Structure 1
Amino acid sequence: MTLGYVHQRFNRRLNATPLPRDLDEITCVDTANEVSPEQAGMSQREVDAIWADTIKLYRKGMHPMLSICLRRQGKIVLNRSIGYQRGDAQSEDAVIGDLNTPICLFSASKAISAMLVHLLAEQGEIHLLDPLSYYIPEFAANGKGYTTIYQLLTHRAGVPGLGEGVDTSLLFDREAAVAAICAADPIDDMGRTSAYHAITGGFIIDELIRRTTGLTVQQYLDRYIRKPMGMRFFRYGLTKRDIPKAAENRFTGLPLGPLAKTLKNALGLDYNEVIPMTNTPEFMQAVLPAGNLYSTAEEASRFFQLMLNYGRWEGEQIMQPLTVHRAIQESGKAELDASLKVPMRYSPGFMLGGSPAGIYGRNSRYAYGHLGLSNVFCWADPQRDISVAILNSGKPVLGSHLAALPRLLFNIPKHCAPVRDMDAKPLDFINAPA
């Protein structure tokens, strides 16, 4: 039995993506926009080290396509993609992805949707401490009358799932989904229980925008963020014309075993059913504010650069500095999330980093961003002045990536040394343009 044969059997068991020997064949580099590392306060060695960790992660075969964009001090130092939009090295009809291939952010969409709610507050349409039932009276059913918009954004609205045995078709019937959420019994009508709202919060955000502005969540996103920032994609779902351009999602890695139940509790849906569904035209054309914003890595990084700029992009004030400030302030100390079964630290809209370590690496207490199914990471770290997006089409939970992924996440902050004393330097929003 040869070593190559053993390796092939191991990869088949892991459901790994077949890769070519020469990864340069499937790699795309943004030579037009990447600056020399010195212009962004980094060295070539540091940038090369981050890219090397990205390659190591990709070589594990868990992500058919992987795209990364890293901005430092507002400048792009890495914007690269590697892999297949569709198929793999053994497919006759494989399509190689590139920098303009849109990838679904899944739950990282929540961060963008949350900022739409903060914009509503900035515009005077709502107040975050108002009860949701003030705008959506039906939401008051079964003791939810005092649940606030703020609690929804911090995963404390008491309606984390769509219920037991839910039919996936409910995801594509907005009115029925809103009605089901409004009629649901809360797990805690006092807002004391942190329980990740995987899908439900997005439907309520859409309904809130509709009832206060007359716009859909898609129209509101287009008007106030996507178009002013010149985004090509960055929208919920895709147009029929763009569906063929999107990266195809693939379940990779080992069978989930006992983890399947935990993931079903968190998602409200069976994980093994979710991945095939995400490649259907129905999902790709749907509007799911909590789970299907499509973006390139550069666009996602651009959004988090907007956040680092306290709402300013290329001379235009997209949102006010205080709006950004309110959105990234922690809502409480880290505590066990009843849905995810791990300690989480939230702001009204974001998953926060931690010290001595967190989801965005070591000593990342000031970082804020969001994770997406299952290895999508988008975040900003004001202490290091970086905005990062790591997008992928592989959806492993247990697999050969479990060492390589943390290495990449931890080495990004390691190679991007802090440039701001967060305790001593005055807060940026005080002198930011109004």
Structure 2
Amino acid sequence: MRMLRKSLEARFNRTPLPDDIDSLIDIDSANETDPQDVGLSQAGVDAIWHDTLRLFRTGMHPLLSLCIRRSGKIVLNRSLGYQRGDAHSDDAVIASVNTPVCLFSASKSVSAMLVHLLEEQGKIHLMDPLSYYIPEFAANGKGYITIYQLLAHRAGVPGLGENVDPSLLFDRKAAVAAICAADPIDALGRTSAYHAITGGFLLDELIRRTTGKTVSQYLDAHVRKPMGMRYFRYGLTARDIPRAAENRFTGLPLGGYIGETLKNVLGLDYMEVMDVTNSDEFMSSVLPSGNMYATAEEASRFFQMMLDYGRYDGKQIMQPLTVHRAIQEAGKAEIDASLKVPMRYSPGFMLGGSPAGIYGKNSHYAYGHLGLSNVFCWADPERDISVAILNSGKPVIGSHLLALPRLLWGISRHCPPVRDMHKQSLDFLASS
């Protein structure tokens, strides 16, 4: 059995784990509520945790961190695994529920809400051309592209081009200039094409030009500090960098169609991405499209605020109509020109689907975002849940491909609907 395990670890690039993983588990017992208090069964919550353990045992994720709220109360807030290292490392560090993890592209959902806040404050209108605020973006026929289309991945500039120099990611002015000078794939904004990196630079620039603040300052003032977040920031301070989870490539090597597709989306070879994301430069930079660091509880807290129509702990972080506008679909599911799979977007979020979607079975009303490569953060108003599944393993093809859907479907199955969305879809009006 030991020989078989070593063979599988080598073939699938699995994380070495001890036989007994109990020592790798951290449970926030002080804040987990009795499931029955929020209409769930203990057996159902135990089943979700069992599926989480099953996913962890695939070895694809050195660290898994999970937080689920139901009706605003935490029913699971747990982590298992390593902040860095593994069972074969002499200097391995075991993670906790307070270990910050990079959200990667799930950062986009937060950045999008900052732009929606700009509209709430009267500083922009989403249907305005982006070039009204960033005139140089109009180059090569992009003058009619709206802010709304940018949020919905229809701005026509999904990538930074081929063979991107990684240093461009850390030169904001050069990146903005390159994006503004680019030829669009569709100057009318009709083509859905996931903007993996470019959108964040443009949103940052929009905030700077309309408020005089950096995106980090704006986030701190309107979300992070009012919500009492310890992390929940783009990049980390020098003091916090050593506390962050280390990313690791796991699973089978990528090549062919999948490898080329990911390279086109990210602008870099997938293995280059792994090296970049563990660098101090990446962890200390501000990349609104992909380097927010947070705990699972903080990510779940943000989506709970969204579920509560912008309220958190007695504070109105954003207005109910702001949340409502942000989560309405921008169009039916269609093949995304970048990702090459069917996607359904709102202006800022990846939406669920029925009979199945990225957030589980019958998740039509769910909204959230995925992050490289198995990060999932979402809210489901029909089930009244906010969920964050964070991890440090970055597999695409690996032994997790059965266990991960099982966990996602298990969450939707064991957290049954509590709201008739046809009758209560506008119940935020009563709270405004």
Supply the distance in 2 between the matched residues of 1:6 and 1:354 (Cα, whole angstroms): 39
Which residue of 2 is the match for residue 210 of structure 1? 208
Supply the distance in 2 between the matched residues of 1:143 and 1:17 (Cα, whole angstroms): 48
Supply the distance in 1 between the matched residues of 2:215 and 2:331 (Cα, whole angstroms): 28
Please give the per-residue CA displacement for 1:176-230, whole angstroms capped at 9, x wherever unaligned: 0000000000000010100000000000000000000000000000000000000
Supply the distance in 2 between the matched residues of 1:4 and 1:20 (Cα, whole angstroms): 11
SS in 2 for 1:424: helix
Supply the distance in 2 between the matched residues of 1:13 and 1:373 (Cα, whole angstroms): 21
Equivalence map 1:95-110=2 (5 Å): 95-110=93-108
Supply the distance in 1 between the matched residues of 2:220 and 2:319 (Cα, whole angstroms): 18
Please give the per-residue CA displacement for 1:50-75, whole angstroms capped at 9, x wherever unaligned: 00000000000000000000000110
Shift of 1:425: 2.3
Which residue of 1 is the match for residue 22 of structure 2? 24
Shift of 1:78: 0.1
Supply the distance in 2 between the matched residues of 1:311 and 1:168 (Cα, whole angstroms): 36
Which of these residues, 165, 168, 173, is aligned with residue 167 of structure 1?
165
SS in 1 for 2:31: coil
Which residue of 2 is the match for residue 223 of structure 1? 221
Which residue of 1 is the match for residue 237 of structure 2? 239
Shift of 1:8: 0.9
Q: Which residue identity lines up with residue 329 of structure 1 in the other structure?
A: Q
Does the CA contact (< 8 Å) of 2:101 and 2:245 recur in 1? yes
Shift of 1:343: 0.4
Pairing 1:389–2:404 present: no
Which residue of 1 is the match for residue 350 of structure 2? 351
Which of these residues, 33, 36, 46, is aligned with residue 31 of structure 2?
33
Shift of 1:426: 5.2
Please give the per-residue CA displacement for 1:274-332, whole angstroms capped at 9, x wherever unaligned: 01110100000010000000000000000000000000001110000000000000000
Does the CA contact (< 8 Å) of 1:251 and 1:275 recur in 2? yes
Which residue of 2 is the match for residue 262 of structure 1? 261
Does the CA contact (< 8 Å) of 2:162 and 2:264 recur in 1? no
Which residue of 1 is the match for residue 309 of structure 2? 310
Shift of 1:265: 1.2
Supply the distance in 2 between the matched residues of 1:173 and 1:166 (Cα, whole angstroms): 12
Supply the distance in 1 between the matched residues of 2:95 and 2:408 (Cα, whole angstroms): 23
Which residue of 1 is the match for residue 324 of structure 2? 325
Supply the distance in 2 between the matched residues of 1:233 and 1:63 (Cα, whole angstroms): 22
Identify the range of structure 1 (258-267 vs 396-405) with the bigger mean alpha-carbon deviation.
258-267
Which residue of 2 is the match for residue 338 of structure 1? 337
Q: Which residue identity lines up with residue 196 of structure 2 in the other structure?
A: A
Which residue of 2 is the match for residue 54 of structure 1? 52
Identify the range of structure 1 (91-100 vs 15-24) with the bigger mean alpha-carbon deviation.
15-24
- For structure 2, which runs of at least 5 residues remain unmatched after alignment? none
SS in 1 for 2:431: coil
Does the CA contact (< 8 Å) of 2:63 and 2:81 recur in 1? yes
Does the CA contact (< 8 Å) of 1:106 and 1:293 recur in 2? yes
Please give the per-residue CA displacement for 1:2-28, whole angstroms capped at 9, x wherever unaligned: x32122112111110011111110100
Q: Cα 1:426–1:250, aligned 2, differ >3 Å: closer, same or farther?
A: closer
Which residue of 2 is the match for residue 299 of structure 1? 298
Supply the distance in 1 between the matched residues of 2:326 and 2:16 (Cα, whole angstroms): 42
Supply the distance in 2 between the matched residues of 1:252 and 1:426 (Cα, whole angstroms): 41
Supply the distance in 1 between the matched residues of 2:24 and 2:163 (Cα, whole angstroms): 41
Pairing 1:141–2:139 present: yes
Which residue of 2 is the match for residue 66 of structure 1? 64
Shift of 1:257: 2.0
Supply the distance in 1 between the matched residues of 2:6 and 2:424 (Cα, whole angstroms): 54
Supply the distance in 2 between the matched residues of 1:424 and 1:348 (Cα, whole angstroms): 24
Shift of 1:427: 1.3
Q: Cα 1:37–1:148, aligned 2, differ >3 Å: closer, same or farther?
A: same
Shift of 1:429: 1.8
Please give the per-residue CA displacement for 1:106-147, whole angstroms capped at 9, x wherever unaligned: 000000000000000000000000001000000000000110
Percentage identity across aligned positions? 75
Supply the distance in 1 between the matched residues of 2:425 and 2:407 (Cα, whole angstroms): 31
SS in 2 for 1:186: coil
Supply the distance in 2 between the matched residues of 1:130 and 1:136 (Cα, whole angstroms): 11
Which residue of 1 is the match for residue 410 of structure 2? 411
Which residue of 2 is the match for residue 363 of structure 1? 362
Does the CA contact (< 8 Å) of 2:309 and 2:323 recur in 1? yes
Residue correspondences, number:
431
Pairing 1:425–2:424 present: yes
Equivalence map 1:86-101=2 (5 Å): 86-101=84-99
Supply the distance in 1 between the matched residues of 2:270 and 2:259 (Cα, whole angstroms): 7
TM-score, normalized by length of structure 2?
Answer: 0.99
Does the CA contact (< 8 Å) of 1:310 and 1:428 recur in 2? no
SS in 1 for 2:400: coil
List, as ranges, runs of 4+ consecutive aligned residues in structure 1 with deviation greater than 3 Å.
none
Q: Cα 1:426–1:206, aligned 2, differ >3 Å: closer, same or farther?
A: closer
Does the CA contact (< 8 Å) of 2:250 and 2:398 recur in 1? yes
Supply the distance in 1 between the matched residues of 2:329 and 2:418 (Cα, whole angstroms): 22
Pairing 1:189–2:187 present: yes
Q: Which residue identity lines up with residue 41 of structure 2 in the other structure?
A: S
Supply the distance in 2 between the matched residues of 1:13 and 1:292 (Cα, whole angstroms): 30
TM-score, normalized by length of structure 1?
Answer: 0.99
Supply the distance in 1 between the matched residues of 2:19 and 2:229 (Cα, whole angstroms): 34
Shift of 1:105: 0.1
Shift of 1:262: 0.8
Which residue of 2 is the match for residue 279 of structure 1? 278
Q: Which residue identity lines up with residue 153 of structure 1 in the other structure?
A: L
